[in-house]
Structure 1
Amino acid sequence: MSKILIVDDEQAMREGLSDNLLFEGYETVLAENGKVALEKAKEEHFDLIVLDVMMPEMSGFDVCRKLRQLNIFTPVILLTAKGEEIDRVLGLELGGDDYMTKPFSLRELLARIKAILRRTQTSESQNKADEFIKIGLMEVDFNKYIAKVSGKELKLSHRELEVLHFLLKHKNQIVSRDDLLKNIWQYDEFPTTRTIDNFILRLRQKVEIHPNEPKVILTVHGMGYKLV
């Protein structure tokens, strides 16, 4: 049974979400603010976090940033009443895995939860032997979603590994920013390419010997990126 942490300062919202998720067969834990959520995420394992953005004292963005700083890479769906472009971009750049604007369709939220859990649990349930693939400085086992550098495990977010895996599956092919957004972030349209560009820059810091002179993840100007 998947365990989901629901974080929202509105009691009716978090209890309503909990009731619906319980009905779908999930286990739920509730947190009324960001500080409580952080403590629970440090103490317990969750398969997914549904995280409200607009909360007093500590926003959902701050919680997401802190989680990633603590090397907690539990998938996060951000919920907010705001729909401006900057919020969506910021949330994804801070490590959010998906983004929904209130009011939202419960059916759509459930579908996105199922999609994220299916991806994460499929990779975690693989019992194959370690199969590390060399990508620049890193060795990556995509069956178990483990990355190493010089034999030491490197903490990567699930999304970073997904992007690497997608580029690897299209090795020596040009992958556009739209391809990544549709297949990894699963947005049909996106108002800016900054999210992808910044994401690739961060990946290069971990993959490339000289990130400013990339030899592994190349930029194909005007078209996208290519893993060689």
Structure 2
Amino acid sequence: MNILVVEDDPGIRDVLKRGLSDEGHAVTTAMNACTALAAARSGAHDLLLLDLGLPDSDGLSLTRTLRAQGFETPIIMLTARDAVEDRIAGLRQGADDYLVKPFAFGELLARIDAVLRRGAPAHQPAPLPDTVVLDRLAIDYMRKVVTVGDAIVPLTVKELDVLRLLAAEPLRIFSRHEILQRVWGLNEDPLTNIVEVYISRLRRKLRAAGLEAIDNVRGFGYRYEVGD
């Protein structure tokens, strides 16, 4: 997914870019409203994370301008303004969500997923199970816990999403394109190797726990092999 982060604080901007990139997202940054407006008009982004306190304008004004011009991309406002009146103003100007700083990065990821679900097409694949148990592998998606036997396997959110997708239908081959769509919401992009990178990370972490489970079916995709 392509995300535009509009934040004038370089520290926060870098943390957001690094964290979102680690989750497999393509991130563009802007430090003021002028740059953000030009970037948003390009139509290249799936989501806008917008700080309200910008040096050349107010995030509320930028949101109002974008919505008046027919900009339909979801907007999540990030701000230290925590008054109820500020939240109401942000939502009324066209924001899809409003997150008060400081916030936990996990909550931001959850809100991003929630906002994108609202605008998802009506015909979606059946929801994946919250719990998967296959031999020694156990996935508790609600608690974000994966174990192999008695060992906890530390996974990032996107690593967990890939593993849950494969393990929910063991032996089924998932194409690279389907994994890209189901996990990241992206269409085919020949220049990205996100799927390969995350499959490699998963294999390494599962192997460290004593489990060889993800098979590369050359020319077709990937599948979860039952047994180890």
Question: Which TM-score applies when normalising by structure 2?
Answer: 0.52
Is the alpha carbon distance of 1:124 and 1:47 closer, same or farther for their aligned partners in structure 2, counting shifts above 3 Å? farther
Q: Deviation at 1:56?
A: 1.9
> Which residue number in structure 2 is paired with residue 4 of structure 1?
3
> Which residue number in structure 2 is paired with residue 22 of structure 1?
21
Task: Letter of the 2:17 partner, please give it.
Answer: S
- The structure that has the greater radius of gyration is 2
Task: Letter of the 2:112 partner, please give it.
Answer: I
Task: Letter of the 2:32 partner, please give it.
Answer: N
Give distance in 2, aligned partners of 1:36 and 1:16: 19
Is the alpha carbon distance of 1:123 and 1:57 closer, same or farther for their aligned partners in structure 2, counting shifts above 3 Å? farther
CA RMSD of aligned residues (A): 1.7
Give distance in 2, aligned partners of 1:124 and 1:71: 25
> Which residue number in structure 2 is paired with residue 87 of structure 1?
86
Q: Deviation at 1:21?
A: 0.5
Q: Deviation at 1:115?
A: 1.5
> Which residue number in structure 2 is paired with residue 99 of structure 1?
98
Secondary structure (helix, strand or coil) at the match of 1:115 reads helix
Task: Letter of the 1:104 partner, please give it.
Answer: F
Percent of aligned pairs with the same amino acid = 40
Give distance in 1, aligned partners of 2:59 and 2:120: 24
Q: Deviation at 1:124?
A: 8.7
The runs of 5 or more residues in structure 2 that have no matched partner are 126-228
How many pairs does the alignment contain?
A: 125
The runs of 5 or more residues in structure 1 that have no matched partner are 127-228
Give distance in 2, aligned partners of 1:61 and 1:124: 33
Give distance in 2, aligned partners of 1:112 and 1:85: 19
Q: Deviations over 1:56-100 (max 9, x none)?
A: 221111110011011001100001111111110100000000001
Q: Deviations over 1:22-68 (max 9, x none)?
A: 11111111001111101001123211100001112211111100110
Q: Deviation at 1:123?
A: 4.3
Is the alpha carbon distance of 1:115 and 1:44 closer, same or farther for their aligned partners in structure 2, counting shifts above 3 Å? same
> Which residue number in structure 1 is paired with residue 30 of structure 2?
31
Secondary structure (helix, strand or coil) at the match of 2:66 reads helix
The yes-or-no answer on 1:47 pairing with 2:35 is: no
> Which residue number in structure 2 is paired with residue 78 of structure 1?
77
Question: Which TM-score applies when normalising by structure 1?
Answer: 0.52
Task: Output aligned runs, 1:110-129, within 5 Å.
Answer: 110-123=109-122
> Which residue number in structure 2 is paired with residue 13 of structure 1?
12
